[in-house]
Amino acid sequence: MVGRNFTNSGLVSMHWSNPAGPDVLVEIRRTNTARDVREGLLALAYEVQSTSRPSTGVCVIVDSRLSSKRLADELDRFRSIARAEVARSIFLVGAKTQHEFFIDGELPEHSNVFMQALQAAIHEQTAVRSASRVTRQQVKAVLVERLLSGLPPVTLGALRRLTGTSYQTASAALSELEHLGVVTGERDGPIPLHGLRPVALMKLAEEHALARKPVRYTDPTSEGRMPSALANRLLSLRQKGVTAKAAISGVLGATRYFPGLNITAAPRLDLSVYDGDIRFMSKLDAGLVVVDDPKRKATVVLHLQRDCRPNEMLAQEPDLAARLDCLADLEQMGLQAEARDFAQQLCEAARRTP
C-alpha cells in the first residue's frame, strides 16, 4: 500500500514512501532565479543518493516567472552533467497555485493519492511562508478578537509583543481602525475599541477572509460523513494529538458561540488551520479529495492563516476557532443574513462585557 510521510531532514519537503517501487523525495521551492533552481536540483540529487531505499527526486518550482521552456532547459543541462543513474532519477516541474492548481512537467509518479499528497504539501509550504509575515490585517484581527473575547484593551507596545510586528505596521493598523471609527487616534495607554459596530465588523471580517488560503475538499462518492460527524471525529483526533492547530469555524463554530443563532444546518465543515499542517485530513476522512473549483460543492474547507485568538481563549476553547474566523466563513459561504445576525450578537456581547 502506498503511504506518505513528511520529513524535516535535509532539504526534503516531502518524502513519499512507496513499498511497490522507488520512494519519491520532493523539494518545493518558490523562486524566479535559475541559480536557485540549480541549487535545488543538486541538493535533491544529494538527498536521493543518501537514502537507504531506491528513490527518485522531484524539484517543484511554485508560481515562478521562469517559463516552462526555461525549466526544461535547466533540467536538460543538469542531466547532461550528472551521472546516468542520477540523471534518470531527478525531475523538475513547475506548479501553479493561482486560480486552478496544475503541474507542468514530467513526474515519476502519477497516482491520484500521490498527486493529492503533493498538492497538500505545496499548500502547506505556501501557508508556512505566508505565516512568517505579520500584516496590518493580522494586527487588526488580534486586537478585534481580544475585544470580542471580552478581554481588557492593551497598549500599543503590548499589541506589538502579541503580534511580533513593527511599530510602523501596528501603528498603520490602528490608523485603519481609526478610519472605520473603531478606535481614536490616541497611541498612549490602552487602546479601547469603543466604536465597533456590526457594519465595521463585517468589513473587517471580509478583509480577514481575503487574507486566508482556502483548501477545499469534496467527497466524490457523496456518501461521506455529515459536517457534525466530521467535527466530532476531529475532536477525537485532537485527543490523540493529531490536530494540534485545527479549530472548528464556519456554521458549527458560530453556533457554538451562540446556540440560539437563527442559522441553517451546516452545509460543510469549516476548519481554521493555524500552523499550515493539513496532514490530518488523511485521518479525518481518507476518501475526501482536494478540489480547486470554488463552484463545486465542498465537504470540508480548510482556512490556512495566522492564529488571532488570545491565549486566554486557547486555554478555555482550543477546539473553537476565532469569532472573526467564523464570521468570515459565513460571509464567504454567502450566508449574508446569518452573518449580519452573528455580527450583531458579537457586538452586543462585547458591549455587555464590563
Based on the domain organization, do 233 and 187 belong to the same domain?
no
CATH number at residue 171: 1.10.10.10
| Length in residues, the chain | 354
Q: Return the ∠ at Cα 40 (arms to 38 and 44), rounded to 5°.
A: 120
| Helix (H/G/I), strand (E/B), else coil: 112 | helix
Contacts of 131 (CB under 8 A, 6+ apart): 275, 276, 305, 306
- Of 99, 131, 163, the residue that ends a domain is 131
Based on the domain organization, do 107 and 26 belong to the same domain?
yes
Based on the domain organization, do 89 and 198 belong to the same domain?
no
**Within a domain: 353:** no
The residue type at 235: L
CA distance 326 to 254: 6
Long-range CB pairs of 105-109 (<8 Å, 24+ gap) are: 105/68, 105/71, 105/72, 107/58, 108/22, 108/24, 108/56, 108/58, 109/16, 109/18, 109/24, 109/56
Based on the domain organization, do 126 and 20 belong to the same domain?
yes
**Within a domain: 342:** no
Contacts of 79 (CB under 8 A, 6+ apart): 87, 90
**Within a domain: 339:** no
**Residue 51 belongs to domain spanning:** 14-131
pLDDT of residue 127: 61
Considering the entire predicted model, what is its pTM? 0.66
C-alpha cell at 277: 499542517
Domain count, the chain: 3
Taking alpha carbons only, the member of 23, 44, 36 closest to residue 62 is: 36
Based on the domain organization, do 79 and 111 belong to the same domain?
yes
C-alpha cell at 173: 493598523
**Within a domain: 340:** no
Based on the domain organization, do 192 and 174 belong to the same domain?
yes
Based on the domain organization, do 159 and 189 belong to the same domain?
yes
What is the DSSP-derived secondary structure letter of residue 153? P
Based on the domain organization, do 73 and 101 belong to the same domain?
yes
**Within a domain: 255:** yes
**Within a domain: 197:** yes
- Of 208, 238, 260, the residue that ends a domain is 208
Residue ranges of the alpha helices (H) in 132-285?
136-148, 156-163, 167-179, 198-210, 227-239, 250-257, 281-284
| Helix (H/G/I), strand (E/B), else coil: 37 | helix
**Within a domain: 29:** yes
- Check: CB of residue 237 under 8 Å from CB of residue 284: yes
Based on the domain organization, do 118 and 190 belong to the same domain?
no
Report the chain (354 residues): mean pLDDT per 10 consecutive residues.
Answer: 36 78 89 88 88 90 92 95 92 85 88 86 68 79 92 87 86 89 80 86 92 89 84 89 85 93 86 86 88 84 91 87 95 92 92 73
CA distance 289 to 298: 10
CATH number at residue 103: 3.40.50
Based on the domain organization, do 275 and 237 belong to the same domain?
yes
Based on the domain organization, do 22 and 80 belong to the same domain?
yes
User: Counting beta carbons within 10 angstroms of the beta carbon of residue 97, is it exposed (0 to 12), middle (13 to 18) or buried (19 or more)?
Assistant: middle
pLDDT of residue 130: 55
What is the DSSP-derived secondary structure letter of residue 329? H
User: What are phi and psi for residue 213, nearest 5 degrees?
Assistant: -110, 110
Based on the domain organization, do 289 and 269 belong to the same domain?
yes
Contacts of 45 (CB under 8 A, 6+ apart): 57, 78, 82, 86, 89, 90
- Check: CB of residue 264 under 8 Å from CB of residue 336: no
Q: Is 250 left (phi over 0), alpha (psi -120 to 50) or beta?
A: left
pLDDT of residue 71: 95
Pairing mode of beta strands 213-218, 300-304: antiparallel
- Of 171, 191, 208, the residue that ends a domain is 208
**Within a domain: 341:** no
User: What are phi and psi for residue 176, nearest 5 degrees?
Assistant: -70, -35
